[in-house]
Structure 1
Amino acid sequence: MLDERILKFIKKEHLASICVIKDDGTPHAFSAFYAFNSDEISLFIASDESTEHIKAIKNRPEISGTIALNTLIVGKIRGVQFNGTISVAEDVENYFKRFVFAKSMNAKIYKILLKSIKFTDNTLGFGTKILWQRS
């Protein structure tokens, strides 16, 4: 079960930085708005098939990423680091509920099934980490 503090943080934010590995072995990072599905612990993003990151996931669906609070105050730093696998989403309504404007884009919706999360929350004490792993 996902810790309530992680759940609350991911639900509140909206932008993830994600990294994939291209066929030649080089990493490629990108940012994306996401919608969170707490039932299956997954993120949904929209992207175009012509992008470098979507080309990369066709052969290597493993991804890593971060979601971070934008702050310069060390005591308020909060964020997650995550790993997972990405694929074309079947259920896209979760994404369109959060980002209605995306319906007008010619983008596909992708699902990131989260496999592990490390939540850092300095508001609980400097360097406090809460871990979650899919069983």
Structure 2
Amino acid sequence: MNEQIADFIKEQTAATICCIDTEAQPYCFTCFFAFNAEEGLIYFKSSSNSKHALLIRENARVSGTILPDKLNKLAIKGIQFNGEVLDPKHLLCRDASFFYNKRHPLAIAMKGEIFTIRLSAVKLTDSSMGFGRKIIWERNESGGLFVAYK
């Protein structure tokens, strides 16, 4: 993954994620997350019977945003992403608890299921790099990764 994108995501703690209900209506939720830059994975924990968990089981495609934990109103900076929530039995989910609990150790005491999002595309907007500057990272069809700059 692009280093600037990975560094930004690693510094943040909360994301807003959007899934789709059975009538194709968006449903958003906010959650704490952990990030695996090497594999391009985001982990979050939620109740297995929450509305979004039930919706994700029906349609695993999600999108979301990550903003800085400390907003600077003079500088636009943030992430937009698309991905797919993986089946918990998927090989890439084997370290989900480790990553999430390492980042959020108090979460060990809380009930819930850890979900894994396999990122397919990420766009970093960062006005400190110049107006309109964006870095786009995408996973290609064979699973490999590439980066495009705008």
The TM-score by the shorter chain falls in which range?
over 0.9
Matches within 5 A, 1:1-135: 2-69=1-68, 70-74=70-74, 76-87=75-86, 88=88, 89-91=93-95, 92-135=97-140
Cα distance, 1:71 vs. partner?
2.5
For residues 14 and 131 of structure 2, the distance between their equivalents in structure 1, rounded to whole angstroms, comes to 24
What fraction of aligned residue pairs are identical, expressed as a percent? 36
- Displacement of 1:10: 0.4
Q: How many residues align?
A: 133
**3-state SS, counterpart of residue 131 of structure 1:** strand
Provide structure 2 residue ranges, at least 5 long, that are not aligned to the other structure.
141-150
Give 1:39 shift: 1.3
CA offset at residue 126 of structure 1? 1.4
Give the superposition deviation at 1:24.
Answer: 2.1
Deviation at 1:58, TM superposition (A): 0.8
CA distance in 2, matches of 1:44, 1:107: 12
- Give 3-state SS (helix, strand or coil) of 1:34's partner: strand
What is the TM-score when the length of structure 1 is the normalising length? Answer: 0.93
Quote the offset at 1:72 in angstroms: 4.7
With normalisation by structure 2, the TM-score equals: 0.84
Q: Provide, for residues 71-99 of structure 1, a one-character-per-residue CA deviation record: whole Å limited to 9, x for no partner.
A: 2523x221110000013343211100010
Q: Separation in 1 of the partners of 2:103 and 2:33? A: 8
